[in-house]
């Protein structure tokens, strides 16, 4: 979603870094470009204004850190301002003192509430909860059936009473059932409309008032732009939401809603939906999202996914190799095979730092499964010794590898060059975990 914005920001900071000494005029010009890039990404005007003001005030009043180049310090200020706009600290689900916890999902029709109810149930079950899905959308055609189908696919119980019982009564009956079966969380899928109307708000407000849910999550379509932000404001005024979920974060919209909604509405983003599959749900971490936007990747989320899909011991072994700089092409192709079960490769690879620059240099549109089959062909045409020690690959070896993989020596050279760059980045990122941003900025030079 943020690819276009990321590339623009990297271009701005790249030009700033080439100047060496940065004057106040240079900073003003760079921040003017940042302002335009954010506005083009459909970020709310007030958010952009506050953001730029914060960065300029910090940068102009700063005693630039000796360990960083001036433009790197400015990038750090931009990162901090992004984290502030996105919410600073991660927010978790509110929990009941005595189960079941009641979570109510609200939002416009088409935002993905029903699918999100199932995803949230699946995510909670993976962390030891016993969820119950509750079908309270009695107006949208097939909403109840959709939730039942999703529940059956995931093996999660769904409480439904058709479409003739009032939502409030359905919810009360569901809570009583949740207590009987020992469910720890009940997730209410409420009705939406194509647009905000008073009847809709009155019904949601009644559910909120009568049930006193522990969390009221507004489900927003991240591709909806500023319309999604305005809808969230209206729901918050009328109902009092306690958190937000952004769906379709894997889409190709400009990303302005994601950057604006926390700052404008004033309640935290708790989860993001990153795909259609039931497990395509992630807790929202403001600092990790800010790093993604700046092209610094998201190694921590990638490691979290790896731990869930591969196993913690294997991940520790991989992290050890990354820290020592011993990660080789054999490790790369082995991990490539194993991470395929973690999700679409294009989405996973976007969590690696500097990926936009790599794509530009390689001249590819998407680093997807098809592209990596191409990479696998080159690596499998190498001998085990060459994969373990790529530095021994000379001209004649490159010609043999290219012939064996059906590629060119230029493509082999590009792979080796980019792998070496990626290995350096991995080492920096692995060793900078928990030490702040100082070690990360080399990739943005």
The tens digit of pLDDT for each residue in 349-373 reads 666 655 555 555 544 455 556 667 7
Q: State mean pLDDT over 90-112.
A: 93
Place of tokens 């935290």: 268
pLDDT at 145 over 60: yes
How many CB atoms neighbour CB 248 within 10 A?
21
Q: Of the segments 54-68, 303-317, 330-344, 388-402, which one has the largest average pLDDT value?
A: 388-402
Q: State mean pLDDT over 149-176.
A: 95
Calculate the dihedral angle through the C-alpha atoms of 222, 227, 228, 234, rounding to the nearest 10 degrees. 170
pLDDT at 141 over 80: no
Residues with Cβ < 8 Å from 336, sequence gap 6 or more? 345, 372, 375, 376
Where does the pLDDT of residue 301 fall: very low under 50, low under 70, confident under 90, or very high at 90 and above?
low
Q: How far apart are CA 158 and CA 288, in angstroms?
A: 34
- What is the pTM assigned to this prediction? 0.71
Angle between helices 286-293 and 3-17 (to 10 degrees): 70
Q: How far apart are CA 289 and CA 272, in angstroms?
A: 11
Task: Decide if 274 contacts 342 (C-beta within 8 A).
Answer: no
- In this structure, what token pair is assigned to residue 27? 């900073």
Task: Decide if 281 contacts 115 (C-beta within 8 A).
Answer: no
Task: Decide if 224 contacts 254 (C-beta within 8 A).
Answer: no
Provide, rounded to the nearest whole percent, the portion of the chain with pLDDT above 90: 39
Q: Which segment of 212-226, 317-331, 406-420 scores lowest on mean pLDDT? A: 317-331
Dihedral sign for Cα 49, 55, 59, 62, please.
Answer: positive
Q: Which segment of 56-65, 241-250, 306-315, 317-326 scores lowest on mean pLDDT? A: 306-315
Domains of the chain: 3-86 (1.20.120.140), 101-290 (3.40.50.300), 299-444 (1.10.260.30)
Task: Decide if 336 contacts 376 (C-beta within 8 A).
Answer: yes
């Amino acid at each position: 979603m943020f690819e276009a914005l990321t590339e623009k920001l990297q271009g701005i900071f790249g030009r700033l870094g080439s100047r060496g000494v940065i004057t106040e005029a240079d900073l003003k010009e760079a921040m003017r470009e940042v302002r335009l890039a954010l506005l083009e990404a459909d970020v709310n005007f007030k958010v952009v204004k506050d953001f730029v003001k914060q960065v300029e005030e910090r940068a102009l009043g700063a005693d630039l850190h000796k360990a960083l180049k001036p433009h790197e310090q400015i990038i750090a200020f931009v990162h901090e301002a992004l984290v502030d706009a996105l919410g600073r600290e991660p927010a978790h689900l509110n929990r009941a003192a005595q189960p079941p916890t009641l979570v109510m999902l609200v939002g416009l029709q088409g935002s993905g509430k029903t699918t999100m109810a199932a995803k949230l149930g699946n995510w909670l079950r993976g962390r030891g909860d016993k969820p119950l899905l509750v079908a309270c959308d009695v107006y949208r055609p097939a909403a109840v059936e959709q939730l039942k189908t999703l529940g059956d696919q995931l093996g999660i119980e769904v409480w439904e009473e058709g479409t003739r019982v009032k939502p409030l009564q359905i919810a009360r009956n569901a809570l009583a059932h949740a207590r009987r079966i020992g469910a720890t969380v009940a997730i209410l899928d409420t009705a939406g409309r194509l647009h905000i109307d008073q009847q809709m708000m009155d019904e949601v407000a009644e559910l909120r008032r009568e049930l006193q849910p522990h969390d009221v999550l507004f489900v927003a379509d991240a591709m909806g732009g500023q319309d999604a932000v305005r809808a969230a404001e209206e729901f918050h005024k009328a109902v009092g939401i306690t958190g937000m979920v952004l769906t379709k974060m894997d889409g190709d919209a400009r990303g302005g809603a994601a950057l604006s909604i926390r700052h404008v509405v004033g309640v935290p983003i708790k989860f993001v939906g990153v795909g259609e599959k039931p497990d395509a749900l992630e807790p929202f971490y403001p600092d990790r999202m800010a790093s993604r936007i700046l092209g610094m990747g998201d190694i921590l989320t990638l490691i979290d996914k790896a731990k869930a899909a591969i196993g913690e011991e294997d991940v520790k072994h991989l992290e050890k190799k990354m820290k020592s700089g011993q990660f080789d092409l054999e490790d790369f192709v082995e991990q490539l095979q194993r991470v395929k079960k973690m999700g679409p490769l294009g989405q996973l690879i976007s969590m690696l730092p500097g990926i936009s620059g790599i794509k530009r240099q390689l001249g590819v549109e998407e680093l997807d499964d098809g592209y990596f089959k191409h990479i696998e062909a080159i690596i499998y045409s190498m001998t085990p010794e060459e994969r373990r020690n790529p530095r021994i690959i000379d001209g004649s070896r490159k010609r043999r590898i290219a012939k064996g993989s059906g590629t060119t020596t230029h493509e082999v050279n590009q792979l080796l060059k980019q792998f070496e760059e990626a290995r350096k980045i991995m080492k920096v990122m692995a060793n900078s975990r928990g030490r702040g941003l100082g070690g990360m900025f080399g990739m943005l030079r």
